[in-house]
Amino acid sequence: MGAEPGCDKLDSSLLQPNQGSIMRFLIIALGLLAVFCPLRAELIDLEDFFRHPEFRAIQISPGGDYLAVTVPQEDRTGLAILDIRNYPDVSILSQFSPDREEHLGGLFWATEERLLMTSTRQAGSLAAPTPTGRVYATNADGSNRRLIYQGFRRGSMVGRWVEIIHRLPDDRNHVLVIERTHDSERPVARRMNIISEARGRTVATSPLSRGGLGTNARGEVLFAFGITDDYEFEFAYRTTPDDSWRTFDNPFGGTVAFHSFDESGDYAYVSTRDQTRMGLHRLHLASGRSEAVLTDERYEMLAPIWDMDQTRIIGAVFNTPIPEARWIEPDHPTARLVRSLMNALPNYNVTVSNYSDDNRRAVVRLASDREPGVFMLLDTETMALSELVAARQWVNAERMAAMRPVQITARDGLKLTAFLTVPNGLEEQDLPLVVEVHGGPHGPFDTWSWDPWVQAMANRGFAVLQVNFRGSGGYGQQFEESGYLHWGDKMQDDLTDAVRWAIDEGIAHPDRVCISGASYGGYSAMMSVIREPELYRCAFAFVGVYDLERARREGNIARRVGFGRAYLDRAIGTDSERLRAHSPVHHVDRIQADLFIAHGAADEQAHYNQYHVLIEALERAGIAHDKLFVSGEGHGFYKLENNVKLYSRALDMFDRTIGSRWRPRDDNERTASLD
């Protein structure tokens, strides 16, 4: 297959002048990895899009001899420890697979030979993970593997879980953890034994409810943040572990995350989502005054960038359309190293995840809109960068479609970021278009990244438009909260405006548009074809919510006393008239589009009864539809065969309504039910 014109190549001019040798080494090490030349469309087996990645996260050991790697499996996520002492020869030293629906993560090397890991449960690929409370420990060679912390105390049903926050430099037998329990609102910092279940001593108890605790570089607990019943943040600090806590007001008035102390200990680095000053701030602990360090008026800070010792923040990554690094200390050696990698690989998101203690070795992750992710090993002295493992080694990035950010103005003037993916080999003109709506809706957001479903659609000839509508995360607290109480109107209008933009730009054919989504996206797909019956030819709704009154009393969100119910109060409200007006089940008589509705029988997040009430409403109204209800699956499907079946049927509907079998709409004809 021939390559498309305009291939993106590694740009040597972007490296600093004194780093020509780095450039030469990078070219040799990366080879074709740094060149993106999309090949013309060729059908790819759907299994290749939806197979689980072989690897998800990697942590290098303190001495740089081992790699801990999480390994997704069909219904769980396991662990492998790789021996890289004789790199480039790599061997599997040990493996561990947990219980069904248990997913290992939170990898933490306590010593060079001892690894800790936490786990979550996730009933469905799209479900929110919930902590099991378990902490496992293992030696690198697999010996002395044991459960050192359990989510329930013996003889008690009080749930508890921990977050590992510090490898104590003066104590090789313990790490510092924050412990939370269901019977206490105040987090506790304690030392946890890394060998056995022996209960470590309490170091500090937070003076504030909920929230968490923060340490300085020595592991001393000196900062606390809490969350009130009204979801307001509050702070406390002390100058030494022996001092009393002093509280002070939140100067930001919104959600705040603590990251670290500065070297003096007088300031804390925090980030805020407040729309007027999103980003990183220095908080003077004695006075409570704040000072902006790295901020943006539109885009949230995604993550801080640390120095090699992981003790000092030197920059941050922001949620610009293609994520962008900004620097506090641009001349810091680590900043120069990371920037050199970013400049040499401009077509990738470059993340240096962690370093060995001597800073000689580092794990680097490269990913993009066409690359699902590849982990590299970096020698920081020679700048040799070589591939360790690929998340999905069977995916050929050159056969993936490119995604580009676009800016859209909603009808009320609000600026929206969206992403357009166009099939390889096609011009952006009169294309069949699928609007893919993200879930959440509050918190999640679409990004410039590889997505299996988006790529599968593009590979079958469909352009895909993903819109970060009001209510999405990533653009500040006010932007997110502007979607509260507007699930069924303004948030849908943003999608409509995006489709009309694509039509007006000549990108989309006006009679060849479908909409697709999961979770909230499934709700939105149904609400969109109700509000705009002439605009869409079909809708694919997966694990969606369709009756908002029922959602307030049924499902795992409604069952979360406190924050869960408070979230629903804020997001969808309590007014029954509005809830009915914004519920698809009450308005199905307006639907003209072809429909495919799918759900997992074990879904507790968008409760499986949501599927049944929608199907019943469609059948009462005589609305033709295709449907799929799968036992053993939850909020999103895990099994490959179920995902292939699901997405094959969705693609068949797209092909029939806007694809190769498309024909102009006949208002007197409806597709027969495919039940």
CA 467/CA 350 separation, integer angstroms: 24
pLDDT over 80 (residue 139): yes
Whole-prediction pTM: 0.89
Rg of the chain in Å (alpha carbons): 26
Question: In what side-by-side order are the strands of the sheet with 290-296?
Answer: 256-261, 267-272, 278-284, 290-296
Only one residue has tokens 């090993």, namely 377
Question: What pLDDT digit, counting tens, does each position of 367-392 carry?
Answer: 999 999 999 999 999 999 999 999 99
Whole-angstrom distance, CA of residue 534 vs CA of residue 513: 10
State mean pLDDT over 137-146. 97
**Among 23-32, 198-207, 658-667, which stretch is predicted with the lowest mean pLDDT?**
23-32
Phi, psi of 134 (to 5 degrees): -80, 145
Neighbours of 48 (CB within 10 A): 16
Residues 6+ apart with CB under 8 A from 451: none
Residue 373's pLDDT is what?
A: 95
Among 307-311, 340-344, 371-375, name the one with the lowest average pLDDT: 307-311
Residue 152: its pLDDT value, please? Answer: 66
- The pLDDT value given to residue 12: 33
Residue 111 in this model has a pLDDT that exceeds 90: yes
CB 480 within 8 A of CB 443: yes
Q: How confident is the model at residue 1 (pLDDT cuts 50, 70, 90)?
A: very low
Calpha distance 262→210 (Å, rounded): 24
Strand partners, 193: 174
Band the pLDDT of 173: cuts 50, 70, 90. very high
Report the pLDDT value the prediction gives residue 276, as an integer from 0 to 100: 73
Contact between 74 and 54 under an 8 Å Cβ cutoff? The reply is no
Three-state SS sequence of 502-523? HHHCCCEEEEEEEEEEECHHHH
Quote the longest CA-to-CA distance of the chain.
Answer: 79
* DSSP per-residue codes, 201-253: PEEEE-SSSSSEEEE-TT--EEEEEEE-TTS-EEEEE-SSTTSPPEEE--SSS
Looking at the predicted structure, is the pLDDT value of residue 512 above 60?
Answer: yes
Q: How far apart are CA 174 and CA 155, in angstroms?
A: 25
**How big is the CA angle at 355 (ends 13 and 8), to the nearest 5 degrees?**
30
Going edge to edge, which strands form the sheet with 324-327?
A: 301-306, 313-318, 324-327
Nearest CA-CA partner of 165 in 103, 234, 110: 110
Q: Sorting pLDDT into bands at 50, 70 and 90, what band is 252?
A: confident
Q: What average pLDDT score do residues 134-139 get?
A: 96
Strands 538-542 and 594-600: parallel
Share of the chain above pLDDT 90, in %: 71
Identify how many contiguous H helices and E strands the chain contains and give both numbers.
Answer: 13, 35
Tell me how far apart the alpha carbons of residues 615 and 597 are, in angstroms, rounded to a whole number: 8
Q: Say whether pLDDT at 11 is over 60.
A: no
Mean pLDDT computed over 242-246? 94
Mean pLDDT, range 522-531, rounded to an integer: 98
Cβ neighbours of 553 (radius 10 Å): 11
Residue that wins the pLDDT comparison between 138 and 249? 138
Residues 6+ apart with CB under 8 A from 666: none
Q: How confident is the model at residue 123 (pLDDT cuts 50, 70, 90)?
A: confident
Nearest Cα neighbor of 148 from 167, 113, 130, 174 is: 174
Three-state DSSP at 101 gives coil
- Domains annotated for the chain, with CATH where assigned, are 57-205 (2.130.10.10), 401-657 (3.40.50.1820)
Angle at 121 between CA 119 and CA 122, to 5 degrees: 135
Identify which has the larger pLDDT, 129 or 518: 518
Distance of CA 376 to the CA centre of its chain: 21
Taking the C-alpha atoms of residue 399 and residue 117, their distance in angstroms, rounded to an integer, is 36
Q: Which of 74-78, 419-423, 463-467, 525-529 has the lowest mean pLDDT?
A: 74-78
Q: List, in sequence order, every residue forming a beta bridge with 152; answer none if it has no partner.
A: 159
* Tens of pLDDT, residues 552-586: 988 777 776 456 788 899 999 999 999 999 999 99
User: b/e string for 267-303 if b means 16 or more Cβ within 10 A?
Assistant: bbbbbbbbbebbbbbbbebeeeebeebbbbeebbbbe
Tell me which DSSP letter residue 159 carries.
Answer: B
pLDDT-derived band at 158, boundaries 50, 70, 90: low
The residues, any chain, with a CB within 8 Å of residue 510's CB and separated by 6 or more, are 503
Q: Are 77 and 104 in contact (CB under 8 A)?
A: yes
pLDDT cut 70: percent of the chain above it? 90
Amino acid sitting at position 641: E
User: If pLDDT is split at 50, 70 and 90, which confidence band does 641 have?
Assistant: very high
- Among 290, 291, 297, 333, CA closest to 315: 333
CB–CB of 91/82 below 8 Å?
yes
In angstroms, the CA 467 to CA 349 distance is 20
DSSP type of residue 39: B
The pLDDT, as a whole number, for residue 32 is 38
Give pLDDT, residue 25: 40
DSSP 459: H
For residue 103, the Cα-to-chain-centroid distance in whole angstroms is 16
Q: How many CB atoms lie within 10 A of CB 615?
A: 19
Structure confidence at residue 13 (pLDDT): 34
